[in-house]
Structure 1
Amino acid sequence: MVVRKMREKKSWAWWLAEPIVRAALVSTTKHDWIDGENIPATGGCIIVLNHVSHVDPLTAAQLVYDHGRLPHYLAKSGLFKNKALSAFFTAAGQIPVERLSKNAAGAFDAAVQAVRDGKCVVVYPEGTITRDPGGWPMTGKSGAARIALATGCPVIPVGQWGAQQLLAPYAKKPDLFPRKLVTMKVGTPVDLSDLEAKPRTVAVIQEATDRIMAAITALVEDVRGETAPPERFDMKKAGVRQIGNPNKPEGTT
């Protein structure tokens, strides 16, 4: 793995958090970064990846950081309700989003501006930890596709596996020992060039979303050495809640 030097200016939040998070991950995980050079060294871009654990935003941040970029996440707005946490996440350049809300449009505008400003924006297209029984990527939401089509920036897919062994979905306690292997494989940019000039119809956005999810799924297949189900899990069709712990009744978290 080739580690790039950080070119971007780091805020106080990054100077504070990076050594703490890295020490925690080094003590609990081993990592295998594959084809990380596919992450652009400069310029606005979107990193899209599958979501298997509440801890994988940290391991994904480590991947992006190790390749010389500061990750800017679309983070759920609940993390910004505490004043101290809000100040920290804002200083770190994270973008609050109110999921399943009309106010999510503000996050879209902020993400588009971040990309145009040359930032590396990280998006989980599934919108939540996968509900697929086998842990495979689900159907995707349209946010990443809409940002990409609005900016024409590279969309870099990542397939990852292993973080769920450290912290299973919605588990209260991590399994710290022995250290868990987290593997992340970075793909080449998803080709959306033929869609950029087309009107932003539902069909065009869906096609872009499907291409993004297909690229992520193919990388997860490579990492796992297995074949994904022929049809991606759809939360709406399955009748499972789209946010929060799916094992608890609606109205609880």
Structure 2
Amino acid sequence: MARLRRRFPRRGRGFWFGLAIDLLWPVLVLSSRLRLRGALPERGGVLVASNHLSFADPVSVTAFCLAAGRVPRYLARADLWEMPLVGRVMRSGGHIPVHRGTARVQDSFRDAVRAAEDGECVLFFPEGTFSDDPEHWPRRGKTGIARVALTTGVPVVPLANWGTHRLLPRRGLPRPFRRTPVDLVAGPPVPLDDLVGAPLTAAVLQEATDRIMAAITELLGEIRSQEPDAA
């Protein structure tokens, strides 16, 4: 099990994103038993692909990335930038707005490519939303992360996240005083070298996406000591 760093990296966090981290980290520590395994590349561009279970996921996944020595840059829906306080956090942290259903939707792809090529740690929830599976297995992923990965050639690290759906359920009340176990496990980079340089057809993008989601699902099965639903 990876040991948490005594001091998270501070450079590159920005004031408001850094303040949010400093405020939310004690809450996560007091309300959960955080267990981390795996690692991220210490430097250079990397894409982190995580399953999505709860509104608490950005907090737990940020903690994992910081413990691995990296400051994550999230892709998130653009309307968050319109909120007074949240918008300051998103701008401060250098996160990437996704303009869904508009003419600016390609801006997020361009900005994610630029961040990866600049050596950043870019965080994706490839499902795009919470899993709707009754057993909380990952749903089919969207191809955005595959497009960025195959365009840039940077590694994609799968990250399985489990327990946040009990810490902060989508429905019902949060459970801040139960010290809910929360596991985050990163695996080796997903093998995509044979697809890098190929034309970005729908079939190629879907194959890369399926490999990424399969890697996340396999890690999640290891955490849960269960075989995922074949469907």
- TM-score bracket for this pair, using the shorter chain length: over 0.9
Structure 1 residues 9 and 81: alpha-carbon distance in aligned structure 2, compared to 1, 3 A threshold: closer
Cα distance, 1:100 vs. partner? 4.6
Does the residue aligned with 2:220 lie in a helix, a strand or coil?
Answer: helix
CA deviations 1:43-97 (Å, max 9, x no partner) are 1110001001111111000000111110100011121112443222111111111
Contact 1:30 1:182 survives alignment (8 Å): yes
Q: Quick one: which of 14, 25, 29 aligns to 2:32?
A: 29
Work out the number of aligned pairs and report it: 228
User: C-alpha separation between the residues in 1 aligned to 2:74 and 2:131?
Assistant: 18
Tell me, in whole angstroms, the C-alpha distance in 1 between the residues paired with 2:60 and 2:90: 17
Between 1:49-58 and 1:7-16, the stretch displaced more is: 7-16
Once the two structures are superposed, the pairs formed by residues 43-122 of structure 1 within 5 Å of their partners are 43-122=44-123
Alpha-carbon offset, residue 3 of structure 1: 3.9
> Normalized against structure 1, the TM-score is what?
0.86
* Paired residues of 2:36 and 2:183 also in contact (CA < 8 A): yes
Note the aligned Cα RMSD (angstroms). 1.5
Aligned residue identity for 2:181: L
Contact 1:61 1:71 in 2 (8 A): yes
Counterparts of residues 1-253 of structure 1 (less than 5 Å): 1-3=2-4, 6=9, 8-35=11-38, 37=39, 39-169=40-170, 171=171, 173-231=173-231
Q: Which runs of 5+ in 1 are unaligned?
A: 232-253
Letter in 2 for 1:230: A
The secondary structure found in structure 2 opposite 1:135 is: coil
Per-residue CA deviation, residues 100-155 of structure 1 (Å, 9 max, x unaligned), is: 54532111111111111110000001000000111000001001100100100010
Distance in structure 1 (CA, Å) of the matches to 2:230 and 2:69: 36
In structure 2, do the counterparts of structure 1 residues 100 and 166 end up closer, same or farther at CA, with 3 Å as the change threshold? farther
C-alpha distance in 1, partners of 2:17/2:165? 25
**Cα deviation code 1:200-236 (max 9, x no counterpart):** 11110010000001100000100111111112xxxxx
Paired residues of 1:13 and 1:88 also in contact (CA < 8 A): yes
Q: Structure 1 CA distance, aligned partners of 2:37 and 2:227?
A: 19
Identify if the C-alpha distance between structure 1 residues 113 and 103 changes in structure 2 by more than 3 Å, giving closer, same or farther. same
CA distance in structure 1 between the partners assigned to 2:122 and 2:80 by the alignment: 18
Q: How far apart, CA to CA, are the structure 2 residues paired with 1:6 and 1:46? A: 18
Alignment partner of 2:184: what SS? Answer: strand
> Percentage identity across aligned positions?
38
Deviation at residue 14 of structure 1 after TM alignment = 3.4
The 2-side partners of 1:87 and 1:10 are apart by: 12
Amino acid at match of 2:17: W
Matched-pair contact (CA < 8 Å) for 2:30–2:177: no
Q: Is the contact between residue 17 and residue 90 of structure 2 (CA under 8 Å) also seen in structure 1?
A: no
TM-score, scaled to structure 2: 0.94
CA distance in 2 between counterparts of 1:90 and 1:173 reads: 30
Asked whether the 8 Å contact 1:162–1:182 carries over to 2, the reply is: yes
